[in-house]
Amino acid sequence: MIERLTAWSRSCLTMQGYGSLSDGERKSLWLGIRFAPALCFTGIALGVVLASPVLLLAMAATAFVGGFLTPKHPFDYLYDATLRPLLGGPSVPPSPAPRRFACQFATPWIAAIAVAFLAGVTALAWVLAVPLLVVAATVMTTNWCLPSLIYGLTYRQGRRGGGATPV
């Protein structure tokens, strides 16, 4: 049973682009790799519960930065600067293309929730938020990432058909 869970966990991290990590590196990075998704989930959940477009737009901004501008998500840098020195272990590696794609995928989604709250369309905000929170909670707890899966399927299809290119 443990071997199956280990293999499944390895496949989830490979889907996110961390396939080159050894099992030892994966174990030492278990918290570091989940830290950014956990903070993202928490920030988005608070933004939704508080109906706070400001908090949601701030979360969209962090997703934008992590997806388009920097080698790692801003929360990875926060982990490296605060928790890593206390816990020891390696720095969170740069975000692979599937993980950056997940941030790119989330950016307009989070912004749309904020806009729905700004426009006073609370029901629409919740309709958009619930699936996003499910996706974020899944990544946070299991490392299984739907946007990374979409990236992998798109990129793999593109390599066969010549259409898609990596992020």
Q: Which domain holds residue 98?
A: 28-154
Backbone angles phi, psi at 90, to 5 degrees: -80, 165
**Quick check: is 4 in a domain?**
no
Please indicate, yes or no, if residue 124 is contained in any of the structural domains. yes
Within a domain: 10: no
Q: Does a structural domain hold residue 64?
A: yes
In whole angstroms, how far apart are CA 84 and each of 29, 47, 73?
A: 10, 27, 15
What pTM value is reported for the model? Answer: 0.89
Residues 6+ apart with CB under 8 A from 155: 97, 164, 165, 166
Predicted local distance difference test score (pLDDT) of residue 159: 54
In a domain, 19, yes or no: no
Counts for the chain of helices (H) and strands (E), in that order: 8, 0
Q: What is the pLDDT of residue 163?
A: 44
Q: Number of structural domains, the chain?
A: 1
Residue 87 falls inside a structural domain: yes
Residues of the chain with pLDDT under 50: 160-164
Query: Is 133 inside any structural domain?
Result: yes
In a domain, 17, yes or no: no
